[in-house]
Chain A
Amino acid sequence: MKYIAQLLFIGGFCVATVGGAGFSDPLEESALMMFIGGLVLVLVGGIMLRRAVHAEAHEKVADGLSEEGLAKAIEGIAADVRGLIDEASGLDGKQLCTRIDTILQGSFFDIGSRNEDYMRVLGNTVYTRYWDGFAVGERLLARSWSMAADGAVAEAVAELPGVLKNIERATRRHFQAELTTIR
């Protein structure tokens, strides 16, 4: 089903583009027919593809690509950052950089590199609710890294509560909603 949809979509896209490129004054009938036919194929293939993707989204829940999965993954980052805050004051600039790098290149990268999948599966509204805090948290952690790399360890450590605050902001609504449901 998905492959047929892809075939229709890509084929239609090609035909419609060829037709569109042939538009001139006066309008050639063959170009117009190709354009309309191609556009219909794009529509049909596109709708079929959307349905296939939505069906796949349900399967992907097991792969962590669900609201629940995202909330848990971000909560995992929050735990990492809490651990970092606890030990940060005893680290020098280089050690702090390495610790931050582990989080940035690890859990942040794992979630961040799948942003398009999350957007597709969760839809824009839900995705945005989580991603706002996630993105600000990631940027602030990068800020802390830069400061640590420059040897400004005190300033770098001072940024970390802001990172945690934003990461917690990302998941707060989910857990609040969950709590309400349980009650």
Chain B
Amino acid sequence: MEQKPTYRELTPASLIGGVCVGALLNMGICFAGLQIGFTIVGSTVAAVIGFGILRGILRKGSILEVNIFQTVASSVNTVNAGVIFTVPVLFLLGFEENIDYTALLLASVAGSALGVMLIIPLRKQIIDFERLRFPEGTAVATILRSPGAGVEKSRLLIAGILVSAVTIVMVKEKVWGETVDLGEIVGVPATFNLILAVSLLSLGAGFLAGRGGLVVLYGTLLNYWILIPAALLLGWLPDDVGSTEEMLVDVSSLTSLEHGAAAETFFGKFSHFTSRHVGIGMILGGALAGIMLAAPALKAALASLKQGGGEGGKSEEVSLNVLKIGSTFGLLLLLFATKLAGGDSVSWGQAVMVMIAGGVWLWVAGLVVAQTTGRTDWSPLSGLALIAIAIMMGILGTGSGSIVPAVTVGAAICVATSMCADMMADLKTGYLVGSRPAKQQLAQILTCWIGPAIAVATVVLLWKAYGFGPDQAGVLYERAHTAGGATLEAFEAAGGTEVNLPDGVPKLGAPQAGALESAIKIVQSGDVPLGKYIAGALIGIIASLLISPGIGVMVGLSLYLPFEYMAVFGIGGIIALLLARWKGPHWTEDKGVPVAAGLIVGDALVNIIYAVKDVAQSL
């Protein structure tokens, strides 16, 4: 008689525990995301907590069971990125009364489900064939393997965690600055940006990316040392840059740029209006070229899904039928959510078009973020969300009646793309520890609807409690005035004015939503820089088809993201290459990977602790 397998992998404890921890992380990171403008994936933290609960408290967890725990926790948590980049903009634009919360919830759940369903067929291509690194996924695997990996590797991991944690605490407590202007120190003119972030997370991720770090560094230098000075020389200045007094920059002369905050702001703004759009186009072009080149691998992946085999009869992936049913369900949900959100202003024909265009864009965007996250750990989520909303406004119209349904579908797409990135990183971890993909996929399918519900509810609650956005004080002042009487007195007694928040109210600037708000206004005015997107896409496609699909994606991403982080990432890659040459690739893998993983984990742990602290203080 065949013995029943006893090794623990997909268990109720891993599912329930993962959901609970993911829900807590989701709420905490939502709050932090509205404050600082970016989110933390939290897989590493979930893995550490999973170890503590399953192995420490319950005393029966296995490595693969903890992997399912962190897969579920990060799945429940990670979708908050998609929600906080998009949903707040509806409140900021004054559409609070027009929001259909059921539609918003349905759309987010549809996005989450579609993200999982549509990215699963790409697992084999991205993880098995391309072997993308997924720095955070690799870091999580290092944590999971630590009990059996030997004392030395554990020590290296802990050393990395401690160094990174201490560094980020110093930065958070303002003992050290967030950036170092190396250019000022070594005497390079401010025109050549050399501002580096104090981010050991970026260094660790770059180290794990290895050779990819060099390409990123090339793109970063191309952007800041060639493109921006050249654009300045040629006088291609966007209206918003250089002409405003607060920039304190005389753009008539390249050498007049001085080191300091003004230069940093100037580069950020300039990059936003020039290279950022070309960068997004390039990423898209590179990803599409990757799909063209990967046709044989995709065929193999689909064959594997159809057979459901590869391991001697045991199912390697969830079946194609599950994916078909799930995708159909998700698309129908998206259709109803669009109609519900738009009401009479959206016809069924428009809703069907939104569903089709949304489904196609979602798959492309999911592929893009899976590629970028796999190569660097970063993804152009907000840029892709903006394009999604622009596409939706193209179908539904640019009038105010179309904004609520467009943003609702945009939220679904943004949730889906964040889910794609998370799913792939988790599957990478699973590959490294030997998890069966079908079990991870099943766990994620079963729990993918929970995260969006929590994130949407958290955003709505935070809006009702504190308001948010660049004019948060003004919003609260308006509310207090409308309520009048005791409410207004209490507001003023706590020091609240039109421009000052009352005591005890946390500042929630929602910077990403603020950026999306201005982007929507650009779409409404018809000034979408389509030419820049197309130019970037053409360069990305040609370069990727001729050389490697990674080129378009990596260089595009480094045109899109800030210099200070990408340069540090590139330095990490160079260190890995130099060490591989000096000490050999085996040594670099053996000693370097645990330290690099530690640097990523330490940063994530401290950020989560600070997020929890912020939430606790505001309660």
Contacts and interface: CB of A to CB of B under 8 A. Distances in A.
B433 interface: yes
Interface string A95-120: 00100000001000100110110011
Contacts of B234: 22, 30-31
Contacts of A127: 129
Contact of B236 (A24, A35, A161, A166): A24
Contacts of B536: 17, 20
Contacts, number: 184
B529 A146 contact: no
Given A49-B546, A97-B148, A39 B538 contact: yes
Contacts of A152: 6-7, 62
Contact of A21 (B124, B149, B274, B543): B274
Contact of A17 (B6, B147, B539): B539
Binding site secondary structure of chain B:
helix
Contacts of A113: 585, 589
Contacts of A42: 539, 542-543, 546
B535 A146 contact: no
A20 B311 contact: no
B266 to A, nearest CB: 16
Given A16-B535, A39-B538, A146-B64, A166 B310 contact: yes
B94 interface: no
Contact of A46 (B543, B586, B590): B543
B471 interface: no
Contact of A162 (B281, B311, B546): B311
Nearest to A155: B7
A149 B148 CA distance: 5
Contacts of B430: 139
Given A20-B278, A115-B131, A150-B148, A165 B312 contact: yes
A24 B586 CA distance: 50
A152 B60 CA distance: 12
Contacts of B63: 146, 149-150
B296 interface: yes
Contact of B7 (A24, A97, A115, A147): A147
B138 to A, nearest CB: 13
Contact of A135 (B129, B222, B293, B295): B129
A146 B62 contact: yes
Nearest to B539: A16
A16 B529 CA distance: 16
Contact of B129 (A46, A47, A50, A131): A131
A140 B296 contact: no
Contacts of A105: 586, 589-590
A27 B532 CA distance: 11
Interface residues of B, number: 69
A25 interface: yes
A46 B547 CA distance: 7
Interface string A14-38: 1011111111110110110001001
Interface residues of A, number: 64
Interface stretch (B224-232, B255-263, B399-407): B224-232
Contacts of A162: 311-312, 314
B454 to A, nearest CB: 30
B231 A139 contact: no
B275 A21 contact: yes
A136 B7 contact: no
A116 B548 contact: yes
A8 to B, nearest CB: 11
A146 B433 contact: yes
B7 A31 contact: no
A145 B529 CA distance: 52
Contacts of A115: 129-131
B231 A18 contact: yes
B446 interface: no
Interface string B206-221: 0000000000001000
Interface string A151-182: 01001000101100110000000000000000
B128 A43 contact: no
A17 B531 contact: no
A25 B527 contact: yes
B434 A20 contact: no
B546 A143 contact: no
A36 to B, nearest CB: 10
A131 to B, nearest CB: 5
Interface string B417-461: 000000000000011111110000000000000000000000000
Interface of B: 5-7, 62-64, 124, 127-131, 144-145, 147-149, 218, 222, 226-227, 230-231, 234, 236, 274-275, 277-278, 281-282, 293-297, 300, 304, 310-312, 314, 316, 430-436, 527, 529, 531-532, 535-536, 538-539, 542-543, 546-548, 555, 559, 585-586, 589-590
Q: Would you list the 8 A-B pairs with minimal beta carbon distance, nearest first?
A: A143-B434, A149-B148, A20-B535, A46-B546, A23-B531, A135-B128, A142-B434, A146-B63
Interface of A: 9-10, 13-14, 16-25, 27-28, 30-31, 35, 38-39, 42-43, 46-47, 49-50, 97, 105, 109, 112-113, 115-116, 119-120, 124-125, 127-128, 131-132, 135-136, 138-150, 152, 155, 159, 161-162, 165-166
12 contacts: A13-B543, A21-B274, A22-B234, A24-B236, A119-B129, A124-B295, A128-B300, A132-B310, A136-B316, A139-B128, A139-B430, A147-B7
Given A24-B236, A124-B295, A127-B129, 13 more contacts: A13-B555, A18-B227, A20-B536, A21-B278, A21-B532, A21-B535, A28-B236, A31-B236, A43-B546, A46-B547, A131-B129, A146-B144, A147-B64
